[in-house]
Structures are given as C-alpha cells and as structure tokens.
Amino acid sequence: MSPFFSESAWLCLAASAVLGGMLLYRSKSPGQLWSQVLCLAGLWGGICLLGLSLLCSLLLLSLSCFLLCMCSSDQEFLPVDQKAVLVTGADSGFGHGLAKHLDKLGFTVFAGVLDAKGSGAEELRKTCSERLSVLQMDVTKLEQIKDAHSKVMEKTQDKGLWAVVNNAGIFHFPIDGELIPMTCYKKCMAVNFFGAVEVTKAFLPLLRKSKGRLVNVSSMGGKVPIQMMAAYCSTKAALTMFSSIIRQELCKWGVKVVIIQPGGFQTSISGTPDIWNKMEKETLDHLSQETCDDYGQDYIHTQKNYFQKMKDHSYPDISPVIGDIQHAISSRNPSSFYFPGRLTHLWICFTSCFPTGLVDYILQKCFAPKHMPRALRISS
C-alpha cells in the first residue's frame, strides 16, 4: 500500500467520522438517528458487496454522510413570533398536550375539539393563555370545518396560519378484520383519513400563503400490519400515503409536509370500559350466525383484554410525540418522518426490509391473540 493511498484512506475515514458525528448531533429524535444509522449501514454493506477498494468505499461513505448532513433535520428553530397553529383532536391525548405546550411556547393556538363543552376543552380554557382559542370542530362535519376556518381567518387576519396538525383519530374494538362491522371501518375512515383530508383541503390555501407546515399524525400501524387493528391500521396507511404524495406536490409552494408515526403511548383513544362494552355489543350484533358459531362469543369477549394489554405495553410519557411535533412545526429544516416511541422505527424498518414470511412469523409471535376461535379449538 502506497503512502498516498494510506493517507487518503485515513483522510476519508476521518471525514466520515466527522460527518457521522454531525449527523448524531443534528438528530432530534431516536427515530431520525436510527434512520440515518440504518441508511449508512445499508450503504456500507452495499459498497462491501461491490468489492470496491478501501479508498473508493470511504470516499462514497464520506459523500453519503455529507449528503445526509445537508438533507437531515437540524436543531435550528424558527422564531415563534406568535405563529398560529391549528391542532385537531385537542380534547385529550397528543392534541391536548400539544395545544398546551405550544401555548406555553408563545404560539397562537387554535384547538379543534369534538366537544367544545367537554372537560378537555374547559381545561384548555382555564390553564392556557388568551392566545389559545377552542374551536368546535368535528372533522367529519364539513360545516364545522368551514366555521373553524372562518374563525381562524378572522383572528389571524394578515398574520396568516403557520401550521396545521391533523391529530384527530379514533380506535375500534380490537378483533379480527372479518368480525369488525362495516360501520366501524367507515367511522375510522371518516375520522382518521377523510377528516384529515377535509381539514387539509380547507386550510391549505392559508398554508400556501405562509409557506408553512402540514403535520399529519399517523401511526406505526400505518406501516406495521398489527393483528386485531385492521380498520385503524388501514386508515393510518391511507393517511401516510396521502401525506407522502402531497409532500411532493406542495414542495413547489414552499409548504413542508411531515408525517408523525408514533408507537404505543397511553392516551384515551382506546376509550373507557363502558365504550368497550358498547363496541363489543356492536360487533356481536353485526355477525351472521355462522360466523358467530365459528368464532364463539367467548372469543370476542376475551378481546376486551387487548385494551388492557395495549395500556400495559404503552409508554405513559407522551412528551416524545409532543417534542417531535414541535420540531416539525418549528425547525427550519424538519424531517419528513418522525418515529417517536420505543423500537418504533426498528419495527417499521423490519416490516419494510425483511422477507414477508419472516415478518409474518415474528408478528404472529408478538401480536397474535392467545385465545383461539371456537371452531379451531374444537377441531384441534
């Protein structure tokens, strides 16, 4: 090995280390960090398979680190300047916490709620500043969206609207896709997808004027096929694809579109025991006799335990989600995707990159219900 080659190789290695360090520094969340590390690891593996020389390999790796540094999100925040942000689904959960957090930071917040007289709305009025406005906003009702739009226009006037956070969402009774009533599929689609699209279409003219941000809260379930969640995951997959398409379409207007894909966090989206009983009854009422005999009522009844399982395996601190949404709103150069939650990004990468047979096997082991349908128990 010539001295020149050796010095060049060491120089490229040093450049890679410096650029890699910059990537680690600029990473806002573990999701972004894992994304960048996996990209570099995959690239390095591909380079090794090509059998290139050490110098060429390090040159390519250095160039890749440089491009990732240029394109990755950073910690430089834009000034708040009382920028106006609309948050849907602010009655509870992520939306409620986000509305409070943004208000403390000095944003003008429009908190869209399902029930303007509910406890969540009242708490926002009591604990937040006068910059926060509570808006009655059922995202499935176009007249309420239009009314909210008029109130936002009236209050912001020349200041404009900086960001829209489509957070409103609902869950359903966790059961096999065959057993989920069509009414549940339609309700989930109406809120989780069509509602977000309707709000987006109504407020996009304001975002185009401000060259602002559209932040859509999807889910890990939009990428990972989790059993018992067919309706919910399908709507989140639709929202993720919609967001990915309009991200490309809106870039010419200077509007940045961001997708948040949280893992498991403890929120009130799953409802209360009374709501679980109501959803169970709705499920049973829509079953044919043949299907009910095959699965058995006891199988359906035990699925209520899934709600408790979700709670036990969910993270109680929602601050990672709030922090990522804030970064998406405020960063000069936000990421296109955020993955708050433990192992969230690893699950998404696993289901995207590995063979389907292996993915199905692992998901069966992790998410399949322990209780078997009646007909399968009898046959075995």
Extents of the domains making up the chain: 3-71, 84-367
Which of the residues are catalytic? 232
Residue 358: is it exposed, middle or buried by C-beta count within 10 angstroms (0-12/13-18/19+)?
exposed
Could you tell me which residues come within 8 angstroms of residue 312 by beta carbon, excluding any fewer than 6 positions away? Answer: none
Task: Determine the residue type at 144.
Answer: Q
- Tell me, what's the pLDDT at 21? 56
Evaluate if residue 317 carries a pLDDT over 80.
yes
Structural tokens at position 208: 């185009």
**Torsion angle defined by CA atoms of residues 25, 246, 192 and 114, in that order, rounded to the nearest 10 degrees:** 90
Residue 276: band (very low, low, confident or very high) from pLDDT cuts 50, 70, 90: confident
CA pair distance 284, 12, nearest whole angstrom:
65
Among candidate residues 195, 339, 197, 346, the one with its CA nearest the CA of residue 260: 339
Q: What's the whole-number mean pLDDT along residues 116-124? A: 96
Burial 182-192, CB ≥16 within 10 A → b, else e: eebbebbbbbb
More confident residue, 19 or 300: 300
Q: What's the per-residue H, E or C state across 122-183?
A: HHHHHHCCCCCEEEECCCCCHHHHHHHHHHHHHHHHHHCCCEEEECCCCCCCCCCCCCCCHH
**Distance between CA 360 and CA 308 in Å, rounded?**
24
* Token pair for 267: 């929120």
In one letter, which amino acid is 224? V
Q: What is the pLDDT of residue 3?
A: 46
pLDDT value at 206 more than 60: yes
Q: What is the pLDDT of residues 70-87, one digit of tens each?
A: 555 556 789 998 899 999
pLDDT of residue 4: 44
Rounded to 5°, angle at Cα 92 from 263 and 313: 30
Average pLDDT over residues 249-258: 97
8 Å CB contact between 87 and 111: yes
Which of the pair, 117 or 379, is modelled with greater confidence?
Answer: 117
Q: Which CATH number fits domain 84-367: 3.40.1190.20, 3.40.50.720, 3.90.180.10, 3.20.20.80?
A: 3.40.50.720
Residue whose token pair is 């739009």: 149
- pLDDT above 90 covers what percent of the chain? 61
CA distance 170 to 224: 18
Element (H, E) at 359: helix 356-367
The mean-pLDDT minimum among 52-66, 92-106, 339-353, 362-376 falls in 52-66
